[in-house]
């Protein structure tokens, strides 16, 4: 029997309040994909882990559920506590799993997905830094041209005197 995975990512509505005032509201999201192989599962999971890395203030992150051939292997609930991010992992009892090494497999898949999400996040930050550097470079070049034009204008006026 071919091993297939079902991946579910669920994000509830959330609201950011500061001193009793509503600052922002965040809408819910739900994603489900079935018939994934291991590589596809790692990539999809990494994508949603990365989304949890880029949340706004007091925005609730995604919860994850993974099934292997119809058996729930993993449930992860994302919570914030005093502004700090932490995960509460709820691994299923080994008695519920078809094979003993499923626990090690899902742990390995989660580790791979987390590593890939960290790499994607690093690539995103690097790309943003490069874009910002290019923008600063363009602004500096524009300012230089404006100063040169002003110098030429003042030089002509001074020569007339």
Domain boundaries, the chain: 5-132
Cα distance from N-terminal residue to C-terminal residue, the chain: 93
- Helix pair 102-160, 38-53: axis angle to 10 deg: 50
More confident site: 161 or 144: 144
CA dihedral over 112, 113, 114, 119, signed as positive or negative: positive
Q: What does pTM read for this prediction? A: 0.61
Is 50 exceeded by the pLDDT of residue 85? no
Count other C-beta atoms under 10 Å from residue 69's C-beta: 13
Of 70, 60, 110, nearest to 90 (Cα)?
110
Is 80 exceeded by the pLDDT of residue 90? no
pLDDT at 101: 64
pLDDT at 28: 94
Q: What is the mean pLDDT of residues 29-55?
A: 91
**Residues 99-133 pLDDT 10s:** 556 667 777 888 888 888 888 888 877 777 778 87
Mean pLDDT computed over every residue of the chain = 81
More confident site: 134 or 78: 134
Cα–Cα dist 127/129, whole Å? 5
Of 13, 14, 49, nearest to 28 (Cα)?
13
């Amino acid at each position: 029997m071919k091993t297939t995975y079902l991946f579910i990512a669920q994000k509830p509505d959330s609201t950011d309040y500061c001193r009793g005032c509503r600052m922002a509201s965040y809408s819910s999201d739900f994603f489900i994909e079935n018939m994934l192989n291991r590589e596809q599962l790692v990539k999809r999971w990494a994508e949603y882990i990365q989304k949890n890395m880029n949340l706004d203030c007091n925005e609730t992150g995604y919860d994850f559920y993974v099934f292997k051939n119809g058996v729930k292997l993993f449930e992860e609930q994302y919570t914030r506590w005093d502004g700090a991010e932490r995960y509460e992992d709820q691994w299923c009892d080994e008695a519920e799993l078809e094979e003993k090494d499923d626990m090690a497999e899902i742990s390995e898949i989660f580790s791979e997905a987390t590593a890939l999400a960290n790499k994607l996040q690093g690539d995103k930050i690097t790309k943003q830094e490069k874009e910002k550097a290019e923008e600063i470079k363009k602004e500096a070049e524009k300012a230089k041209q404006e100063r040169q034009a002003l110098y030429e204008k003042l030089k002509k006026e001074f020569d007339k005197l």
